[in-house]
Structure 1
Amino acid sequence: MAEPPVLFKRTKPKHTQRSRISTPDPDAAPTTGEDDSPSAVAAKLRKKTRAKAKSTLSFGGDEEEGEGEVFKLKKSSLSKKLQLGKSSIGIPPSAFEPTIARQSTGPTYDAAYLSQLKASTPTARPPVLTGESYDVDVSMDVDSPGQLSTLSSIADDAGAETAIPSASSILAAKEKRDRLRKSKVGEDFISLSLTKRDDFSQGPHPESRLMREEDELGDADDEYAEFTSAQERIALGKKSRKKEAQKRRAEMNEMIIDAEEEDEETQEWEQEQLRRGGLRPESAEPAPKPVYKPAPIPPVTPIPTMGAAIARLTQSMSELTTSHAQHSAAMSKLGEEQRLLDAREKEMREMIAKAEDKRSWFNAFREWVESVATFLDEKFPPLEKLEDEHISLVKERADMVAARRRAEDEDDLILFLGTPPSLQPQPEEVDELGRTIPSANSPHARANRNAAREARRLRRRATNQQARQEEEGFSTDSELPPGDEDDYRTAMGQLLADAKGIMADVKADEFRDPNAGLGKWFGEWRSKFGDIYTGAWGGLGMIGAWEFWVRLEILGWDPLERPRSLDSFSWYKSLYNYSRPSEADDEDEPELGPDGDLVSAMITTALIPRFCRILEGGGLDAYSATDIRRLVDLMEEIEISVDKQNPKFELLLKSVHTVFSTAVEATEATLAPFLELNQPRFDPAAIPARRRFLTRRYKLLRNLVQWRKHAGDRYGLGTLAIRLVTSSMLPVAESGWEVGGEDIMRKVVQALPSELIPPSLQHLRAA
């Protein structure tokens, strides 16, 4: 470690006026007493002052004071070694090393010396030096001959007298300063800087007195003072030097401790760096030769016996066997788990593939269903309009037949019960054109109706052999006149043509044929995703969409007018095959699928509501035995697919009961005014008229009883039959009991079941 430099303490002498001191002659001998020159006096003064000064050493040396003794510097052993090293090598001391002057003995302050000093002290201010400026802060220590010559020159200059300025020059200087201050020209101070203020940029606001942040912070000396030694201070006092020395020793100890705590990796790295820098030779010292150490002799062990060895081997064998069994079990378990994981992975991959197929298929299915929904939204309104038109045609035809039958009944009742006031012939009315409006109950109108009835009877007998044997009034007589019949047939033909026109603009086969569209998609859904299909009731959803094609196919069909079995329709065959996806055996029918019998669902959904509207609208004639027979056949066919307890089947039975009840009520309404009048007259045509009226009611009763046999006594069919006999037939028969009434009532008793025979007719049964 290099020796720290020597620090000297500066002493600031008292600022006093001095006279110029002349430079002393170095060759002249020193003088004492009164002949001493001012330079000698200054030299003595310097020696006295120097004797009291204290030097500050950075390496902790203490000062020693003594009068007349030379200052001795105590050096450490390290500095002595360095000095010895320099002297031995022969290197001269550096010019930068400080030299320490010996301290001289201080002067004696006696009366003669003080008087001499007073006499030599100038009383005027020394003149301003034009050459070198004197720094009062410079130490009085004389370290070199150059400094001694400088002090001598200063002392010589101090002896010269200084001129005092006059009052006029002082006044002129003051006026000049005032003038410059007022004119603000130039600077009123002497700048310490070699440059002017205008030479530098004044910033964006030169007139502002605020200090910028960068000017206030300075050049970061305070911020980085810890690293630039800006905060270090020179120790001047004895105590401060001791503290600095102790602090330095503590730091050195810490550095030594840190150096000793270096690990092997750090030392190796330092050695490698020294080797790379050429400060350490490549070759290292040879490793010391290994010292031979003999192997230790093992202790004597007894020879093992056979039994102990066999026991030890047996135990080891058992342990190995157990370990092997455990490892084998663990291996087999791991293999089983691996197999299960592989199987599970395969299943997961299959599930993912199925899920993707399901997603793609259902997306396509959803798009197709949306297209079908759009198609049905467009086609259903015209279909419903045509259905309503068909019902209106059937109702119009039934109303025409019922009106003609009521007029014929009134004509017959007038013949044997008289004419009630409400049916008296009205005077002929004339319209605005002068034409006569015929009255409905005029003799001429009745004659025309009788003639038309005879013509229909003759025509029916000519075409039908059975009609020739029927008695008068037993025929249904529900045919329309030829003109009206032709108009009805034309309207029905136009209706069927309009039904075909609904699908005229449809070209796709999957919309024209539901079996190619609905059957294909829903069948694929059932085969691929059966659980979802069953849970979502896919079969009922297909029925709801297929209903349009079923209703379109049966549009214009009257099941009683044109009898046709249900299995002859294409929708019946398609749904029958769809409901039975499995192949049929040679003997048994194919089993039903998860949907059950969809034919039954379609009948209850689409056909029965349609049949109810047709029957109630006039498609069923209660006086027609043919219609009743066809209705029974149709109901038996429906019962094969639909349970009798089904609410839709009950609705169909109720519609048939409504038709019979309407016919009985119409008979009572027609007969009521004639029974109130009851004014029979002698007329040869009265007897056949009464027979015709009772025969027509007898036919209605037979149809009612026949339907009751098939449907049972539901909705009061037996009560309705008794009501027809007691309120409509018996009063008319009693009015002509001897002329045919008794015979008709005997037929009634024979047709009625025993529980339905009224008490007033029980005697006819016994007879």
Structure 2
Amino acid sequence: IALGKKSRKIEASKRKDAMQEMIADADEEDEETIEWEREQLRRGGLDPFATADAAPEKQVYKAAPIPPPTNLPELGPAIERLAQSLAALKASHTSNVNAAASFTDEQGQLDNRETELRDMVAQAETKRSWFADFKEWMESVATFLDEKYPELERLESEHISVLNERAGMITQRRKEDDEDDLSVVFGTPPQRDHQPDELDELGRAVPRADPVTLRKVRRVARVARRKHRQSRSALSEGDCEEEGYSTDSSLPPSDARDYRAAIQRITAGGEELLSDVAAAEFKDPNLGLAKWFGEWRYRYGDSYTGAWGGLGLVGAWEFWVRLELLGWNPLDSSDNLDDFSWYSALHEYSQSFDEDENADTSEPPPDDGDLVSAMISTAVVPRFCKMLESGSFDPYSARDVKRIIDVAEQVEASIGSDHHKFLMILKSVHSVFENATIAAETLLSPFLRFNRPQFDPEAIAARNRLLTRASKLVGVMLRWRKYTGDKLGAGALCVRLINNYALPIARSGWEVGGEQTTRQVSIMNEQSTHELV
């Protein structure tokens, strides 16, 4: 569009040039076109260039050529040619049909492959999305455990400390009783090491009490405790005759109240550990861990098996197991392992992948193994061994060794007798007996070196009490040996206690009960050895 004067001028010049070109094209002579037009005019008699004098051209007749004669076709060759053409057409048709069928099958295969790929992509996306949610949830569990584990470990350490303190009080009182009786039998050896004076709140030295007076006070207290026990429960005739057979492992009333209060405080601390948790899946692992790991096992069994999902569940569930076991002392409680909720929950989880869930698949269910035994070896056995070594087990208590055998049988039935965690229990119990034997030998050693007995009417009773307590310790060790055999040298330890502790004491009064007690202990040991053989 020409908008300016100069543009309009240029546009007019272009139109003029175009018109001139058209006129020039019209003026050009086309010889072929002119010749064709003239021929048409001539045929129509309108040729102005034709002369009137021209004579018409005389046409000459030419006969049509006669075609050469040909033989008539025969029927046989024609039929043969037609048969060949028909066979070729049939072969071509068959080839085309086969090709069409092949193309159809190939198209069907491609369609199926496309459908499979689409399904695989959809499944991969579903799997990716599920594992992303699972990872996010596990990270929240890890954060939760990082926050709660330190408090749980603190409560466990406090529980061990309370057990250790109680065992220390009982061991110290028993040691003082044995020292009193040994002083009566062998005499009081002089104190070699100068002990520092005790100071009061103002830093003044507290005068030491006379050892004789202390022995009398402890003797009176021991008699009072024995009368108190007799008043609470009717003792058998054997118990009444065997003074010293009761090793007096009970705490004084004030200390017993403090001990119960400490255990209740620890148990309450464990209950308050989850008081600030609102999500039910973090309070109950059945609603969280069992749900997620069960879904993982059901939907992606190969991945679950390859990643040892069952052991991962055990590792994550350990916090709630240790929280439930907090404050539990198997020697003071009648609760067995299968009485806890985690035991039944893990057992149900192991058995939950049943035939109903596998009805639509021929694949075998993933083998988790025994998750209960894995949890026992992971969380229960180390905790139990730590309690045994901290003084929870009294080597003089027949009730304690019976209870330990019960718990050990449960562990053995779950993880097997050759499992290294089961051997840990055996070693822990053996170490308690070994420490008791070493303590008895250490206590007796200075009295044997001094060995200056004086006439004392209480010597016979004191010797009988010492031998009776030693006999009870040997009896408890033999009962444990009956269960374990001589795996860790329990028989040799019994012989060591008899030779190094009981026999020297018995020799100091062989005619007044020492021989009889020694023979009884030796017979017990021989019977135990015979039963093992």
**TM-score, L = length of structure 1:** 0.58
Q: Do the aligned residues in 2 keep the contact of 1:572 with 1:599 (CA within 8 Å)?
A: yes
1:579 positional shift:
1.3
Q: Distance in 1 between matches of 2:253 and 2:29?
A: 142
Equivalent residue, structure 2, for 1:285? 36
* Equivalent in the alignment of 2:452: 679
Q: Does residue 181 of structure 2 align to residue 412 of structure 1?
A: yes
CA 1:425 to 1:410, structure 2 compared with 1: closer, same or farther past 3 Å?
A: farther
Specify the structure having the higher radius of gyration (Cα).
1
Paired amino acid for 2:430: H
Seen in structure 2, the aligned counterparts of structure 1 residues 294 and 684 have a Cα distance that, compared at 3 Å, is farther
Asked whether the equivalents of residues 305 and 366 of structure 2 are also in contact (C-alpha less than 8 Å), the reply is no
Q: What whole-Å deviation, never above 9, does each CA across 1:643-685 have from its counterpart, x for those lacking one? A: 2222222222211111111111001001111112222333222
Give the aligned partner of residue 358 of structure 1: 127
**Deviation of residue 721 (structure 1)?**
1.5
* Counterpart pick for 2:224 among 449, 455, 458: 455
Specify whether residues 274 and 392 from structure 1 end up closer, same or farther in structure 2 by C-alpha distance, changes over 3 A only.
same
- Which residue of structure 1 lines up, in the alignment, with residue 16 of structure 2? none
1:321 Cα deviation from its structure 2 partner: 4.7
Match of 2:74 in 1: 304
Distance (Å, rounded) in 2 between the aligned partners of 1:497 and 1:299 = 129
Indicate which of 472, 479, 502 corresponds to 2:243: 472
Seq. identity, %: 48
- The correspondence for 1:482, drawn from 253, 257, 268, is 253
- Cα distance, 1:367–1:490 mapped onto 2, change above 3 Å: same
Specify which of 405, 429, 445 is matched with residue 656 of structure 1: 429
Is residue 742 of structure 1 aligned with residue 515 of structure 2? yes
Deviation at 1:557, TM superposition (A): 0.8
State the AA in 1 paired with 2:238. Answer: Q
Q: Go from structure 1 to structure 2 and tell me whether the alpha carbon gap of 1:459 and 1:319 turns closer, same or farther (over 3 Å shift).
A: farther
Q: Quick check: 1:581–1:592 contact (8 Å CA) kept in 2?
A: no
CA shift at 1:275, angstroms?
A: 9.1
Matched, 1:383 2:152: yes
Check whether the contact 2:482–2:528 (CA below 8 A) recurs between aligned residues: no
Which amino acid is 1:408 matched to? D
Correspondence for 1:509: 280
Contact 2:301 / 2:365 at 8 angstroms: preserved in 1?
no
Q: 1:528–1:434: structure 2 CA closer, same or farther, 3 Å change rule?
A: closer
Pair 1:342 & 2:115 matched: no
Q: What are the Cα deviations for residues 669-727 of structure 1, in whole angstroms up to 9, with x where unaligned? A: 01111112222333222112111111111111111111122223222222211111111
Kindly state the Cα deviation for residue 749 of structure 1 after the two structures are TM-superposed.
2.3
Map of 1:397 onto structure 2? 166
Which residue pairs with 1:534 in the alignment?
305
| Cα separation, partners in 2 of 1:492 and 1:337, compared to 1, 3 Å | same
The superposition leaves residues 494-522 of structure 1 with CA deviations (integer Å, 9 ceiling, x where unpaired) of 11222222112111111111111111111
- Measure, in 2, the Cα distance between the counterparts of 1:301 and 1:397: 136
Structure 1 639/296 Cα, relative in aligned 2: closer, same or farther at 3 Å? farther
Q: What is the deviation of 1:348?
A: 1.0
Decide whether aligned partners of structure 1 residues 582 and 429 sit closer, same or farther in structure 2, where only a CA change above 3 A counts: closer
- Cα deviation for residue 387 of structure 1 reads 0.7
Which secondary structure state, in structure 1, belongs to the residue aligned with residue 191 of structure 2?
Answer: helix
Partner amino acid for 1:548? F
Q: Is the aligned partner of 1:719 residue 2:492?
A: yes
Question: CA separation of 1:321/1:611 partners in 2, compared to 1, >3 Å: closer, same or farther?
Answer: same
Is 1:333 equivalent to 2:102 in the alignment? yes
Q: Structure 1: which amino acid aligns with 2:130?
A: W
Aligned letter for 2:302? D
> Compared with structure 1, are the counterparts of its residues 316 and 492 closer, same or farther at alpha carbon in structure 2 (3 Å cutoff)?
same
- For the 8 Å contact 2:170–2:249, the answer to whether it is kept is yes
Alpha-carbon distance in 2 for matches of 1:503, 1:755: 50
What's 1:570 paired with? Answer: 341
Q: Does 1:647 align with 2:417?
A: no
Q: 1:753–1:280: structure 2 CA closer, same or farther, 3 Å change rule? A: farther
- The change in CA–CA distance for 1:593 and 1:685 in structure 2 (over 3 A counts) is farther
- The one-letter amino acid paired with 2:291 is K
Query: 1:27 maps to what in 2?
Result: none
Counterpart mapping for 1:176-325 below 5 A: 277=26, 279-280=28-29, 285=36, 297=67, 300-301=70-71, 303-306=73-76, 308-309=77-78, 311-325=80-94
Quick check: which one's helix share is greater? 2
CA distance in 2, matches of 1:352, 1:324: 41
Q: 1:340 to 1:524 in 2, by over 3 A?
A: same
Residues 475 and 327 from structure 1, CA distance in 2 versus in 1: closer, same or farther, beyond 3 angstroms? farther
The 5-angstrom pairing of residues 518-533 of structure 1 reads: 518-533=289-304
**Counterparts of 1:117-128 in structure 2 under 5 Å?**
none
Find the counterpart in structure 2 of residue 689 from structure 1.
462
Deviation at 1:298, TM superposition (A): 7.6
Q: Aligned partner of 1:678: which letter?
A: N
Q: In structure 2, do the counterparts of structure 1 residues 669 and 331 end up closer, same or farther at CA, with 3 Å as the change threshold?
A: same
> Which structure carries more relative contact order (alpha carbon 8 Å, separation 6+)?
2
Aligned residues: 477
* CA shift digits 1:549-576 (9 cap, x unpaired): 1111111111111121112211112111
Cα RMSD over matched residues?
A: 3.2
1-structure distance, mates of 2:478, 2:65: 132
Give the structure 2 partner of residue 191 of structure 1. Answer: none
Deviations 1:711-747 (A, max 9, x none): 2322222221111111111221222222112221222
Q: Is the 8 A contact 2:301 2:366 kept in 1?
A: no
Counterpart pick for 2:524 among 742, 747, 751: 751
Q: For residue 476 of structure 2, what is the amino acid of its counterpart?
A: N
Q: Which moved more, 1:404-413 or 1:729-738?
A: 729-738
1:465 and 1:313, CA in 2 relative to 1: closer, same or farther beyond 3 A? farther
Amino acid at match of 2:247: T
- 2:325 equivalent among 548, 554, 578: 554
Partner of 1:265: none
Q: Can you give the 5+ residue segments of structure 1 that lack an aligned partner in the other structure?
A: 1-271, 586-590, 758-767
